[in-house]
Amino acid sequence: MSVSQRPLLLHLDSSPRLQQSFSRRLTQRFVDAWEQANPNSRILYRDIGRFPVPHIDELWAAAYEAEPTSRTPEMQAALTLSDRFINELVIADRYVFGIPMYNLTIPSSFKAYIDQIVRRDRTVSFQTGNPEGALKNKKLLVITTRKFSYRSDSGRAERDFQEPYLRSIFAILGVTDITFVHADHLAAEVDIQQQFLAEAEQTLDALALQW
C-alpha cells in the first residue's frame, strides 16, 4: 500500500490542561484503538491547547481580503499558519478533535483555529451565492468533555452552543459526516464522574473498530 493510500488521521487537542485533561485522555484512547484497528494508518497531531493559535489581526484580515497575486510579503507571512492548518485538513482523511466545553461552547483556542481555517477560495467558496465547502468526503469525530449533561432529556439542551455550532461551521466547510461523543457530568462526585468517563471510553472503543 502506497503512502497516498494509507488513511491519514488528524488528531487535534484543544484543552489547555495537560495531565489533568479528560478530553486529551479520551482522544488518545480513541486514536490508539483506531490505530490498532488500522495498522496501515498514519497520524498527524496538532496541539492547540499547549501551543495556542493566534487570533486574527488587521494584517491577517487585509491578507484575507486581498487577491493572492496582490498580497505583500507581509500579508503572505500573516497567512502562513492558516495555510498550514488548511493543508493539514486537506490531506487528512479523518479528523479527531478533543474539545472541552467552556461557558456553554468551545474554548477560545478552538475558535481561533476555526477563524484561521475558514478561508474564501481555500476551504469555502461563495461563487454560487451559497457556501460550498472544499473539505468533502471527510469524517470528523468530536470528543467533548462537559461538567453537566446537555442531552435532549437533561433540561439544558437549549444551552448547548457547542455541538450545533460545530456542526454548522464544519458543514459550511463541506464536512457533514460528523460524530459526537460527549463525556458528561465531569463536575460530579468522583464515582459518578468515573462512571460517565467509562461510558465514553466504551463508546469510543466500539467506534474505533468501525469508524
Q: Which long-range contacts (CB under 8 A, 24 or more apart) does 58-66 make?
A: 64/119, 64/120
Give the SS3 label for residue 123: coil
27: cell is: 482522544
Q: What is the pLDDT of residues 115-140, one digit of tens each?
A: 999 999 899 998 888 899 999 999 99
> For 38-54, what is the mean pLDDT?
97
Q: Classify residue 108: in a domain, yes or no.
A: yes
90: cell is: 486537506
Do 105 and 14 touch, CB atoms closer than 8 A? no
Q: What is the pLDDT of residues 73-87, one digit of tens each?
A: 999 999 999 999 999
d(CA 112, CA 124): 17
202: cell is: 466504551
Residues sharing a CB contact under 8 Å with residue 162, sequence separation 6 or more, in sequence order: 99, 101, 104, 105, 106, 144, 150
Domain that includes residue 169, residue range: 3-54+81-208
Q: Classify residue 72: in a domain, yes or no.
A: no
Q: Classify residue 41: in a domain, yes or no.
A: yes
Residue in 117, 113, 61 with CA at minimum distance from that of residue 86: 117
For the chain, what is the domain count? 1
CATH number at residue 132: 3.40.50.360
| pLDDT for 4 | 61
Q: Classify residue 8: in a domain, yes or no.
A: yes
Task: Please count the other Cβ atoms lying within 10 Å of the Cβ belonging to residue 3.
Answer: 8
Residues sharing a CB contact under 8 Å with residue 167, sequence separation 6 or more, in sequence order: 178
Question: Does this model's pTM top 0.85?
Answer: yes
Q: Classify residue 63: in a domain, yes or no.
A: no
